[in-house]
Structure 1
Amino acid sequence: MEEIARLYALSQANTSVDHFGAPSTQIGTFNVVEELIGETVRLPGFILPLDAQIAGNITEFLLVPYVGACVHMPPPPPNQIVYVLSDTPVRMERLWEPIWVTGLLTSDQTHSSLGSTAYTLELDGTEPYEY
């Protein structure tokens, strides 16, 4: 839970900084794959929580392509990060375990100190990623 609280505090900060306190700039594009917009998709990735709730439950998070993305600055390009929003809290066991997310994909952009996103996904469900 201490790690989740630290990540939540970072997401609420006004500036992005690296581990040494220096400003970190996200590079890349907001270009999206138009054919996927408005579709229900299934995507793999890692959870980076934006809200910290009791017992590891979260309702909003970034789906990132590798462990520690955004926390280990600079973040990936915006079109490689998906903002995920869930009406039902999702139980987060471990940050380093990959998952599958399924839901409706839009091109709504979001911005936080952890990084900006080119996509938003309204979550229908998650499942463990099997290697």
Structure 2
Amino acid sequence: MKAYLAMALTALMITSNPIWANASKETAYKELEWDDLIPLSEQLNPPPFPEVDHNDEFAIPKQPIGKVVEGLNGTPVRLPGFVVPLEGDSHEITAFLLVPYFGACIHVPAPPTNQIVYVAYPEGAKVDDLWDAVWVTGTLQTTAASHEMGDAAYSLTATSVTPYERPH
């Protein structure tokens, strides 16, 4: 009984210590789905999809502009998706667009801006791991980013990029 009480007291001291408490908060990520990035008002009343002029082979329809969910700003999140590499080399990618489906930014038009996340990952993700879906973990910001591959309504500083595994 004394050993159990000592262990419980030690656990209480560790979790009440601000250093340990902050460490446990840092790993508490909110797991998101792509629909979570679309405000409810926009889900209920989506903006019109841009029309394609099929008579002009050079006409490129504009990317739909999507609003952000302001409440997600500064939130530690975990989001699955596919990588569109932007910066890095043949071994590691340090910046990319995260999109909900493979080839999203190759298709015209690109997905709505609130369905693209600009990711900075200074540590670098190995290129070999990026052809399949990935989980990206980090802090989400409602800060837009623009690139020729597509505009993003959100930005994220990643702490990890790992191969996608279906949640249990």
Give RMSD over aligned pairs.
1.9
Aligned equivalents of 1:94 and 1:73: distance in 2? Answer: 26
Select the structure with the greater relative contact order (CA < 8 A; seq sep ≥ 6): 1
- The answer to whether the 8 A contact 1:67-1:95 is kept is no
Structure 2 counterpart SS, 1:45? strand
Report which of the two has the higher share of helix. 2
TM-score by length of 1: 0.76
Structure having the higher strand fraction is: 1
Q: What's 1:105 paired with? A: 140
Q: Which has the larger radius of gyration?
A: 2
Alignment of 1:1-131 (within 5 A): 22-55=58-91, 57-93=92-128, 95-131=130-166
**Structure 1 runs of 4+ off > 2 angstroms?**
21-30
Structure 2 alignment gaps of length 5 or more = 1-56
Instruction: Tell me, in whole angstroms, the C-alpha distance in 1 between the residues paired with 2:131 and 2:89.
Output: 18
Structure 1: which 5+ residue stretches go unaligned?
Answer: 1-20
Contact 1:102/1:123, CA 8 A, preserved across alignment: yes
Query: Structure 1 residues 28 and 85, CA, compared in 2 at 3 Å: closer, same or farther?
Result: same
- CA displacement, residues 16-50 of structure 1 (integer Å, 9 cap, x when unaligned): xxxxx724233322411112110100001000000
Between Structure 1 and Structure 2, how many residues are aligned? 111
Query: Identity of paired residues, percent?
Result: 44
